[in-house]
A and B are shown apart, each in its own frame.
Chain A
Amino acid sequence: MNKANTPRSGVPRPGLPRPGRGGGSGRPPRVRVTSPRMGTVSRPPARSPSLEIVEQTRLGEVYMRSLIRSQLRLAGTALAVMVLVLAALPLLFAWQPALSAVRVVGVPLPWLLIGVLAYPALTGGAAWLARAADRAERDFGDIVERR
Chain B
Amino acid sequence: MSHSPIWPSAAAVVLICLATLGVGSLGLRWSRTTSDFYVASRAVNPWWNASAIGGEYLSAASFLGIAGLALAYGGDILWYPVGYTAGYLVLLALVAAPLRRSGAYTLPDFAEIRLGSLTVRRMASVLTIGIGWLYLLPQFHGAGLALRTVIGTPGWVGEAVVAMVVLINVVTGGMRSITFVQAFQFWIKLTAISLPMIFLLLAWRADGAPDPAALQTPRVRATTAVTLPNTVRADVIEPVTVVVDGTVDGVPTTGTRTWTPGSIELGAGTTVTLPAGAQVPHVAGLEISDGATWVTPSSGAGGRGYPLYRVYSLLLALLFGTMGLPHVLVRFYTNPNGQAARRTTLAVIPLLGLFYLFPPFYGALGRVYAPELLLTGRTDAVVLLLPGRMLDHPWAELASALVTAGAFAAFLSTSSGLTVSVAGVLSQDLLRGRFRSSVLGFRAGALGAVAVPALLSLLGQNVSLADIVGLAFAVAASTFCPLLVLGIWWRGLTPRGAQVGLVVGGVLAIAAVLVTMTGGTTSAAANALLAQPAAWTVPVAFAVMIAVSLATRSSLPDGAARVLVRLHAPEGLGLGQRS
B298 neighbours in A (Cβ, 8 Å): 90, 93-94
Given contacts A82-B86, A93-B298, A122-B85, whether A111 and B339 have CB atoms under 8 Å apart is: no
Please name the residue on chain A nearest to B339 by beta carbon. A134
The reply to whether A130 and B296 contact each other, CB–CB distance below 8 Å, is no
Interface string of B331-345 (1 = CB under 8 A from A): 000000011001101
A100 neighbours in B (Cβ, 8 Å): 75, 292, 295-297, 299
Given contacts A53-B565, A93-B296, whether A130 and B346 have CB atoms under 8 Å apart is: yes
Q: Which of B90-129 contact A (CB under 8 A)?
A: 90, 92-94, 97
The reply to whether A111 and B89 contact each other, CB–CB distance below 8 Å, is no
Q: Is the interface of A mostly helix, strand, loop or mixed?
A: helix
A102, B506: Cα distance in complex, Å: 43
Minimum CB–CB distance from A75 to chain B (whole Å) comes to 4
Given contacts A111-B75, A119-B350, whether A68 and B489 have CB atoms under 8 Å apart is: yes
- What's the A-B contact tally at a CB cutoff of 8 Å? 158
B345 neighbours in A (Cβ, 8 Å): 126, 130
A117, B468: Cα distance in complex, Å: 27
The reply to whether A94 and B308 contact each other, CB–CB distance below 8 Å, is yes
B81 neighbours in A (Cβ, 8 Å): 115
Minimum CB–CB distance from A59 to chain B (whole Å) comes to 13
The reply to whether B353 and A119 contact each other, CB–CB distance below 8 Å, is yes
The reply to whether A82 and B296 contact each other, CB–CB distance below 8 Å, is no
The reply to whether A119 and B354 contact each other, CB–CB distance below 8 Å, is yes
Please name the residue on chain B nearest to A96 by beta carbon. B296
Whether, in the assembled complex, A12 has its beta carbon less than 8 Å from a beta carbon of chain B, the answer is no
Whether, in the assembled complex, A54 has its beta carbon less than 8 Å from a beta carbon of chain B, the answer is yes
Q: Which of A60-113 contact B (CB under 8 A)?
A: 61, 64, 67-68, 71-72, 74-75, 78-79, 82-83, 86-87, 89-91, 93-94, 97, 100-101, 106, 108, 110-111
B residues near A, CB below 8 A? 75, 78-79, 81-82, 85-86, 88-90, 92-94, 97, 209, 213, 292, 295-299, 307-308, 311-312, 315, 319, 338-339, 342-343, 345-346, 349-350, 352-354, 356-357, 360-361, 364, 489, 561-562, 564-565, 568-570, 572-576
- 8 cross-chain pairs, A with B, having the tightest CB-CB distances, nearest first: A119-B353, A75-B93, A100-B296, A114-B78, A90-B298, A137-B570, A130-B346, A123-B350
A residues near B, CB below 8 A? 50, 53-54, 56, 61, 64, 67-68, 71-72, 74-75, 78-79, 82-83, 86-87, 89-91, 93-94, 97, 100-101, 106, 108, 110-111, 114-116, 118-120, 122-123, 125-127, 129-130, 133-134, 137-138, 140-141, 144-145
Would you give 21 A-B contacts (Cβ < 8 Å), ordered by A? A53-B565, A53-B575, A56-B565, A68-B564, A75-B94, A79-B89, A91-B308, A100-B297, A108-B213, A111-B78, A114-B78, A114-B297, A115-B78, A115-B360, A115-B361, A119-B82, A119-B85, A119-B354, A122-B88, A122-B353, A138-B570
New A-B contacts (10) at CB < 8 Å, excluding given A54-B576, A100-B295: A56-B562, A94-B307, A97-B299, A111-B295, A114-B75, A118-B86, A119-B356, A126-B346, A126-B349, A129-B93
